[in-house]
């Protein structure tokens, strides 16, 4: 079976995980600090706070910004549900905006149409490792005095105009899920240049604990969103070679594009001159004359694992029924969900496997 994705861990990462486990010091130890420092240097930010997962990163970000009941937060209509779920969890309302089929990110031309007096923030998602259009998003945020929390779960290393995504807004959130280029099994990170917010986030991730007059006290109603030290060891040792990992993904994606570009009935990911895509997912669109699910099933029968890329949130039962959403208002999100297909991409895939994927896929749409 050609797997959709398989994480890679360097030998020194596994060795140090064993050492951490043997030590018995499992939570927020030496490697958490090392991992945070390495991420901070790589992204060029003042503060990195690692947490238990990417959803926790988004949740804490909204809490520290004070977003809650009565507020509205703009969210792309095509993403993983966690992006909107955290808005619900703080009592605010997610307001969905359709995406573009070139980058699978929020359509910046449609953002201003949904801004109201209750709008407090935008959560642009850098979908599949491709950057959202941050120049326009930053302009809109400045004009309407909105906060920006970047969902860069898929996009560690992605750049927009030579700047790392996740570093544009007040806060940026990353994920280290197994399908990401850097993985700690589960895990996430929040980045910010605001020292005050960083201090609050460190307190909130650890039950609200602070040292007051040399003693532990609980100064806020926090959560247990800590990362374990053995997870951080995995992340730290992968970060030592992150540029090579990302370069490898870009080369694999270029190979797919070279073999698939121009084939009738199939749209490959767009390439932008001012953006660097790290291809957390190589996501194609299959023409509507073909049944995406049937193609997915047939590829699996032939030993190739694929999947849909993300969700059209207005189609999900919870959001559709709560906000009486109409799928026709989000045509590109629906197309990306119903006709999109994520192809195998990982450290382990070989060129002959890429050729096989392309040949078998092409045969199914001709």
pLDDT at position 27 is 87
CA–CA separation, 22 and 294 (whole Å): 48
CA–CA separation, 17 and 234 (whole Å): 7
Per the model's pLDDT, the better-predicted residue between 210 and 298 turns out to be 298
Residues facing 190 on adjacent strands? 49, 173
Parse the chain into domains and list their residue ranges: 11-96+105-239, 242-364
pLDDT at position 366 is 82
Q: Report the percent of the chain where pLDDT is more than 70.
A: 100
CATH architecture entry for 242-364:
Alpha-Beta Complex (3.90)
Element holding 215 (H helix, E strand): strand 215-218
> Does 25 score more than 90 pLDDT?
no
Fold annotation for 11-96+105-239: 3.40.640
> Does 214 score more than 90 pLDDT?
no
Question: Quick one: residue 118, left, alpha or beta (phi over 0 = left, psi -120 to 50 = alpha)?
Answer: alpha
The predicted-structure confidence for 127-146, as pLDDT tens digits, reads as follows 999 999 999 999 999 999 99
**For residues 311-349, b (16+ Cβ closer than 10 Å) or e, as one string?**
bbbbbeeebeeeeebeeeebebbbbbbbbbbbbbbbeeb
Per CATH, 11-96+105-239 and 242-364 having the same topology is answered no
pLDDT at position 31 is 96
pLDDT at position 28 is 84
For residue 289, give the 3-state DSSP assignment. Answer: coil
The predicted-structure confidence for 223-254, as pLDDT tens digits, reads as follows 999 999 999 999 999 999 999 999 999 999 99
pLDDT at position 60 is 98
Provide the mean pLDDT of the chain: 97
The predicted-structure confidence for 56-94, as pLDDT tens digits, reads as follows 999 999 999 999 999 999 999 999 999 999 999 999 999
> Does 212 score more than 90 pLDDT?
no
Is the Cα dihedral 309, 272, 175, 256 positive or negative?
A: positive
Average pLDDT (267-285) is: 97
Average pLDDT (324-333) is: 97
pLDDT at position 8 is 94
> Does 203 score more than 90 pLDDT?
yes
- List all residues 6 or more positions away from 7 whose beta carbon is below 8 Å from its beta carbon: 178, 179, 183, 346, 347
pLDDT at position 26 is 86
Distance of CA 239 to the CA centre of its chain: 17
Q: How far from 186 is each of 17, 54, 56, 278, CA to CA, in Å?
A: 15, 8, 11, 20
pLDDT tier at 40, thresholds 50, 70, 90: very high
pLDDT at position 211 is 81
Average pLDDT (339-346) is: 98
């Amino acid at each position: 079976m050609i797997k959709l994705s398989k994480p890679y861990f360097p030998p020194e990462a596994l060795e140090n995980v064993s050492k951490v486990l043997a030590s018995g010091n499992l939570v927020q130890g030496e490697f958490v600090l090392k991992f945070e420092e390495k991420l901070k240097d790589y992204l060029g930010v003042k503060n990195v706070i690692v947490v238990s997962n990417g959803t926790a990163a988004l949740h804490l970000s909204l809490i520290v910004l004070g977003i809650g009941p009565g507020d509205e937060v703009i969210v792309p209509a095509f993403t993983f549900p966690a992006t909107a779920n955290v808005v619900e969890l703080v009592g605010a309302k997610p307001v969905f905006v359709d995406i573009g089929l070139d980058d699978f990110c929020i359509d910046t031309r449609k953002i201003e149409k949904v801004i109201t007096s209750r709008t407090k923030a935008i959560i642009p998602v850098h979908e599949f490792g491709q950057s959202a259009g941050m120049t326009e998003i930053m302009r809109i945020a400045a004009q309407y005095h909105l906060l920006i929390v970047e969902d860069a779960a898929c996009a560690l290393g992605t750049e927009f105009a030579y700047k790392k995504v996740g570093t544009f807004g007040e806060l940026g959130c990353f994920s280290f899920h197994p399908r990401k280029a850097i993985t700690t099994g589960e895990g996430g990170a929040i980045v910010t240049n605001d020292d005050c917010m960083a201090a609050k986030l460190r307190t909130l991730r650890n039950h609200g604990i602070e040292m007051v007059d040399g003693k532990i006290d609980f100064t806020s109603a926090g959560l247990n969103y800590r990362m374990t030290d053995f997870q951080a060891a995995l992340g730290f040792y992968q970060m030592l070679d992150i540029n090579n990992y990302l370069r490898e993904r870009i080369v694999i994606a270029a190979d797919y594009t070279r073999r698939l570009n121009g084939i009738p009935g199939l749209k490959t990911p767009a390439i932008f001159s001012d953006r660097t895509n790290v291809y957390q997912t190589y996501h194609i669109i299959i023409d509507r004359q073909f049944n995406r699910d049937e193609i997915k099933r047939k590829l699996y029968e032939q030993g190739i694992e694929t999947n849909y890329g993300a969700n059209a949130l207005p189609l999900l039962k919870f959001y559709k029924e709560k906000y009486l959403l109409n799928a026709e208002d989000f045509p590109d999100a629906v197309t990306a969900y119903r006709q999109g297909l994520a192809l195998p991409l990982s450290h382990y895939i070989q060129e002959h496997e890429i050729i096989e994927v392309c040949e078998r896929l092409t045969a199914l749409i001709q």
